[in-house]
Amino acid sequence: MNKEHIAYDAVIVGSGPNGLAAAITMQQAGLSVLLVEGKDTIGGGMRTAELTLPGFKHDVCSAIHPMAVASPFFASLPLQEYGLEFIQPGLAAAHPFDDGTAAFLSGSMQLTAAALGKDEQAYLDLIGPLVQNWEKLVGSILSPLKFPQHPLLLAGFGLKALQSAEMISKRFSTEKAKGLWAGMTAHSIQPLSNLATAAIGMVLSAVGHVHGWPIPKGGSQSVANALAGYFVSLGGKIQTGQMVKSLDELPKAKTVLLDLTPKQLLEIAPEKFSALYKWQLGRYRYGMGVFKIDWALSSPIPFTAAECLKAGTVHIGNTFGEIAGTEQRSANDIHAEKPFVLLAQPSVFDGSRAPSGKHTAWAYCHVPNGSRKDMTEAIEKQVERFAPGFRDTILDRHTMNTAEVEAYNPNYIGGDINGGIIDLSQLYTRPALRISPYRTSAKGIYICSSSTPPGGGVHGMCGYYAAKQALADIFNLKTPNLNS
């Protein structure tokens, strides 16, 4: 590419949900925008591929998308016109126990609560206010730290959300309610004793009741394709197959937005940042990694609990105590013998994922950052524990340890799929303590990845807010507020 003759208002590096959101936001403002992707296909964590056998479509990373349907930014776009269709499973999630029963998350908060027996009211007291005020609070929850539109409502949420999952679990008296809560909060990928882990469980539960936990028809690639299709329709340009090693490789532009994590910023442009900013980036902390398996199956997973057969997502780990223990051990660099397993079974609800009568499923467990240990046996034992005969259905499998996860997506440092641990000290100060988390110390260079607020998930809000900041700083342009 000839840098002397091609110039853009903005260049975006990385085509994950946040890079695409940043590119769209800049292009909507009437600028000329180039999106550069290192791989041959766009999508970042939103890619679908035949990882096992021909005709079996597997989501390489994300598979279930509660935050996509909850995202104010995505809701503002006509993505259905670009082929995006979501499928709602019968139940958002299920949580099986050794006695053959299961707790579940459904579209009805009342139904979920009633199934918890003695903990019905405790669940309604915890999740109900957030569900009832979701539309008023989502704009504050999925944003950088700012003065909220509804401060009292947000304060009510925050008093619970800033607690640890362990502290909140004491509100419940039954193992069923505590177990369901453990599965929700373990999405935080950190010890459940950490402050603010309750926030993850509350938000995911509330989103399940308000929007569901849907599956993109055809695979997660369809989310990326829809975002890219809309971006191109606005006049945006996409270049794939260019892994950027230095900002000097990019065309000249007035601003650059990087859908990268702090470690990559230090590698791609160390000479452009101040000593203080580089020191802050160097102190940024990454969390646990994941070991992931994709399966081609001869039949649906034969879960004992009927609720698991109806759920798009299954949380495998039994009791709160078991799950809290395995997450703590993983955080302490110890591999769990019976890890907490997050499992998705999209083909049960989307027939396009596998040949007729066959199925796909994926699962992952948390492991120490950078682990090379093969967790296949441990994960499959956990599935078999709640679905006897599961192993007999396996036709083929594809595994990824943390090094392979990072090789697939360089943003997943050490297998950390959240772009850095989202604990209390990095909740709003990611990736550095600054007036705007999206500005770097170099004028015109911004970070728009999940290493900025509001953090990980397929929602695009990090990219939207980074672009909003760049538009104001560099082009003196204001973007309309999202309807949230």
pLDDT at 3 over 70: no
Examine the domain organization and report whether 243 and 317 are in the same domain. Answer: no
Q: Is residue 303 part of a domain?
A: yes
Backbone angles phi, psi at 238, to 5 degrees: -125, 130
Examine the domain organization and report whether 33 and 140 are in the same domain. Answer: no
Token pair in block for residue 305 = 């609990």
Single out the residue in 374, 408, 442 at which a domain terminates.
408
Q: Region 59-78: what's the mean pLDDT?
A: 97
Please tell me the predicted confidence (pLDDT) of residue 484: 43
Single out the residue in 385, 408, 431 at which a domain terminates.
408
Q: pLDDT digit string (tens) for 283-304?
A: 999 999 999 999 999 999 999 9
Place of tokens 């299920």: 94
Examine the domain organization and report whether 79 and 130 are in the same domain. Answer: no
Q: pLDDT digit string (tens) for 333-346?
A: 999 999 999 999 99
In whole numbers, what is the pLDDT of the chain averaged over residues? 96
Cα 13 from Cα 38, distance rounded (Å) = 8
Cα 196 from Cα 364, distance rounded (Å) = 23
Q: Region 79-95: what's the mean pLDDT?
A: 98
pLDDT at 380 over 80: yes
Q: Tell me how far the alpha carbon of residue 361 is from its chain's centroid.
A: 18
Q: Is the pTM of this model over 0.85?
A: yes
Examine the domain organization and report whether 106 and 207 are in the same domain. Answer: yes
Q: pLDDT digit string (tens) for 125-174?
A: 999 999 999 999 999 999 998 888 899 999 999 999 999 999 999 999 99
pLDDT at 365 over 50: yes
Examine the domain organization and report whether 204 and 276 are in the same domain. Answer: no
Q: Is residue 52 part of a domain?
A: no
C-alpha distances out from residue 308 to 24, 90, 158, 300, 386, Å:
38, 10, 32, 11, 9
CATH of residue 199's domain is: 3.90.660
Examine the domain organization and report whether 114 and 258 are in the same domain. Answer: no
Q: Is residue 99 part of a domain?
A: yes
Q: Is residue 471 part of a domain?
A: yes
Q: pLDDT digit string (tens) for 401-424?
A: 999 999 999 999 999 999 999 998
Please tell me the predicted confidence (pLDDT) of residue 147: 80
Examine the domain organization and report whether 246 and 136 are in the same domain. Answer: no
Q: Is residue 291 part of a domain?
A: yes
Examine the domain organization and report whether 345 and 387 are in the same domain. Answer: yes
Backbone angles phi, psi at 73, to 5 degrees: -70, -50
pLDDT at 20 over 70: yes
Work out the pLDDT band at 35, boundaries 50, 70, 90: very high
Please tell me the predicted confidence (pLDDT) of residue 294: 98
Q: Is residue 15 part of a domain?
A: yes
CATH of residue 273's domain is: 3.50.50.60
Lowest-pLDDT range of 148-152, 254-258, 453-457: 148-152
pLDDT at 196 over 90: yes
Work out the pLDDT band at 259, boundaries 50, 70, 90: very high
Single out the residue in 362, 382, 408 at which a domain terminates.
408
Q: Is residue 415 part of a domain?
A: no
Work out the pLDDT band at 5, boundaries 50, 70, 90: low
Cα 356 from Cα 214, distance rounded (Å) = 22
Cα 48 from Cα 56, distance rounded (Å) = 10
Q: What range defines the domain where residue 450 resides?
A: 7-47+63-84+217-284+421-475
Examine the domain organization and report whether 279 and 425 are in the same domain. Answer: yes
Token pair in block for residue 203 = 């938000």
Work out the pLDDT band at 428, boundaries 50, 70, 90: confident
Nearest CA among 220, 283, 293 for reference residue 42:
220
Q: Is residue 197 part of a domain?
A: yes
Beta bridge partners of 439: 446
Please tell me the predicted confidence (pLDDT) of residue 2: 44
Work out the pLDDT band at 482, boundaries 50, 70, 90: confident
Do the beta carbons of residue 17 and residue 223 sit within 8 Å?
yes
Residue 416 CA neighbour count, 13 Å, CB half:
27
Q: pLDDT digit string (tens) for 306-355?
A: 999 999 999 999 999 999 999 999 999 999 999 999 999 999 999 999 99
Examine the domain organization and report whether 257 and 398 are in the same domain. Answer: no
Percentage of the chain lying above the pLDDT 90 cut: 95
Backbone angles phi, psi at 428, to 5 degrees: -120, -5
In the chain, how many domains are there?
A: 2
Q: Region 429-445: what's the mean pLDDT?
A: 95
Do the beta carbons of residue 62 and residue 130 sit within 8 Å?
no
Examine the domain organization and report whether 139 and 197 are in the same domain. Answer: yes
Nearest CA among 217, 207, 198 for reference residue 68:
207
Q: Residue 293 region, left (φ>0) first, then alpha (ψ -120 to 50), else beta?
A: beta
Examine the domain organization and report whether 236 and 301 are in the same domain. Answer: no
Q: Region 271-275: what's the mean pLDDT?
A: 95
